[in-house]
Structure 1
Amino acid sequence: MSNLIPQTLLSDIPDLYATEDLKDPLCYVKLFTPDSNWSWYIIEFSKADRDTCYGYVQGLESELGYFTLSELESLHGALGLGVERDLYFTPTVLSTIKEHSY
């Protein structure tokens, strides 16, 4: 179980592969490192393992891919700060995130 995202939010995120036919899926949650330039936007979440996510990652490059919440919980930025959830982020379509680089 992740400490990054409350269960109430996790239950609202589609299961893995549920949105693969959508051209512009919704990003439900934004995670970020407050002391670096990395952000993860979650589009899908594995209901089976309750850890694997699919989404849009902005860092050295920007790309769609898979990542795990357990891995993100172990990351720390340059000042030692861990990954946080953006409490003010509202679900946003992927094209808008790519266009505006939130």
Structure 2
Amino acid sequence: MDPWMKLMRPKQLQQLIINHEEQVPLRGTKGEKDLMPVVRLFNPIGIGTWILSECSNDGLAFGICDVGYPELGYVALWELAELRLPAGLQIEEDLHWTPTKPISKYMEDAKAGRAI
């Protein structure tokens, strides 16, 4: 098992991969889908939040990446898994977070200055 696969529970990882494998039309094109995010990762001691809606089998995930300024794009999960924070901490999955709206709505809130 690749280390990045341990960033989240297996059920969440499986759903991210399923979302990625579905043939979703490109954003901005007719028929595009606004996926529900699946998982929220965070830095337990500082800046860094990632709300993800899909992931390839090799660990390239799509969603909102906020390390001081929110952006919609891709993040390499293997890079997040390699981060070593003070006191031996690492990037964590928010086990208490439940998605309530599509990823575009989280991005709208983030742009408006509300927390993601």
TM-score normalised by structure 1 residue count = 0.79
Gap change, CA 1:64 and 1:12, over 3 Å in 2: same
2:41 alignment counterpart: 31
Aligned length: 99
Q: Does residue 74 of structure 1 match 2:82? A: yes
2-structure distance, mates of 1:80, 1:60: 22
Gap change, CA 1:5 and 1:26, over 3 Å in 2: same
Structure 1 unaligned spans of 5+: none
1:59 alignment counterpart: 67
Q: Percent identity over the alignment?
A: 28
Structure 2 unaligned spans of 5+: none
RCO (CA 8 Å, sep 6+): is it higher in 1 or 2?
A: 1
1:6 alignment counterpart: 9
2-structure distance, mates of 1:63, 1:79: 28
Q: Is the helix fraction higher in 1 or 2?
A: 2
Computing the radius of gyration from Cα coordinates, the structure with the larger value is 2
2-structure distance, mates of 1:7, 1:78: 26
2-structure distance, mates of 1:89, 1:18: 25
CA contact (8 A) 2:51 2:65 kept: yes
Superposition pairs of residues 32-51 of structure 1, within 5 angstroms:
32-47=42-57, 49=58, 51=59
Once superposed, what is the RMSD of the aligned Cα atoms?
2.2
1-structure distance, mates of 2:55, 2:46: 24
Q: Is the strand fraction higher in 1 or 2?
A: 1
